[in-house]
């Protein structure tokens, strides 16, 4: 379960301080396919970055499975996120000098304290790529991927550590309608497997698949 209590976040801009989130509270239950929607600039990406421990709030608390995330040290936040949360970013955040499968495996080697053997990580990465129908891309450079392939690889990477929570920021952006449907079906399957999934999306068809939706307003 994710519990957010009275969260606030501001940014300094050339025009002054801009408050993006103000006194926000919400709960995401285990196994939810939870949609976050709202107009551009309402703080959707900021909110999920805070939930993932990638940004710190100005005020408020974030509890993930009972852990007060921002009471932890920076190193422990990184370790906690790597084990607990899989994050599918809006950007194509790959290392271009290594292959697709190496990019998928990368989070499994960061902060590794789980005694997982390298051959087990390789096997898991191959299975994830196979599950998403892109095993033929494993040795390719990420720069050669199409938009839909890119999203599948990002999802595989987010799942490599078998996280309890998967967060995706605009995962259907810049892909075709058919690809968007396929991507949302992947997230539905992930949710039905027992994981909690949070989707930031402006796509109405994607929102219709969510069992809970939170709208952010300017």
Residue 27, strand partner residues: 3
CB 93 within 8 Å of CB 158: no
CB 162 within 8 Å of CB 137: no
Reading the block at residue 141, the tokens are 């450079």
Q: Which residue has the tokens 């990420």?
A: 142
**Helix (H) / strand (E) containing 22:** strand 16-28
The pLDDT value recorded for residue 138 is 96
CB 7 within 8 Å of CB 21: yes
Q: Are β-strands 212-216 and 33-38 bridged in parallel, bridged antiparallel, or unpaired?
A: parallel
Q: pTM here?
A: 0.92
Residues counted in the chain: 218
Cα 78 to Cα 53, 72, 112, 124: the distances in Å are 7, 9, 11, 22
pLDDT in tens for each of the 218 residues of the chain? 999 999 999 998 888 888 899 999 999 999 999 999 999 889 999 999 999 999 999 999 999 999 999 999 999 999 899 999 999 988 767 999 999 999 999 999 875 555 568 889 999 999 999 999 999 999 999 999 998 999 999 999 999 999 999 999 999 988 888 999 999 999 999 999 999 999 999 889 899 999 999 999 87
Cα 165 to Cα 9, 100, 102, 176: the distances in Å are 22, 23, 22, 26
């Amino acid at each position: 379960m994710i519990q957010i209590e009275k969260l606030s976040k501001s940014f300094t801009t050339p025009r002054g301080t801009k408050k993006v989130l103000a006194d926000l509270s919400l709960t995401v239950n285990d196994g939810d396919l939870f949609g976050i929607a709202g107009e551009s600039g309402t703080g959707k990406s900021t909110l999920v970055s805070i939930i993932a421990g990638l940004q710190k709030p100005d005020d408020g608390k974030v509890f993930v499975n009972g852990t007060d995330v921002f009471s932890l040290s920076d190193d422990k936040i990184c370790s906690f996120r790597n084990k607990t949360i899989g994050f599918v970013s809006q950007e194509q955040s790959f290392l271009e000098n290594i292959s697709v499968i190496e990019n998928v495996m990368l989070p499994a080697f960061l902060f590794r304290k789980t005694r997982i053997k390298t051959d087990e990580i390789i096997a898991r990465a191959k299975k994830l790529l196979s599950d998403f129908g892109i095993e033929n891309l494993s040795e390719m450079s990420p720069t050669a991927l199409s938009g839909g392939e890119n999203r599948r690889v990002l999802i595989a990477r987010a799942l490599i550590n078998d996280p309890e929570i998967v967060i995706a920021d605009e995962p259907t952006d810049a892909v075709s309608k058919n690809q968007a449907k396929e991507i949302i079906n992947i997230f539905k399957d992930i949710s039905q497997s027992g994981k909690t999934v949070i989707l930031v999306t402006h796509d109405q068809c994607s929102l219709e698949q969510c069992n809970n939706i939170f709208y952010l307003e300017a």
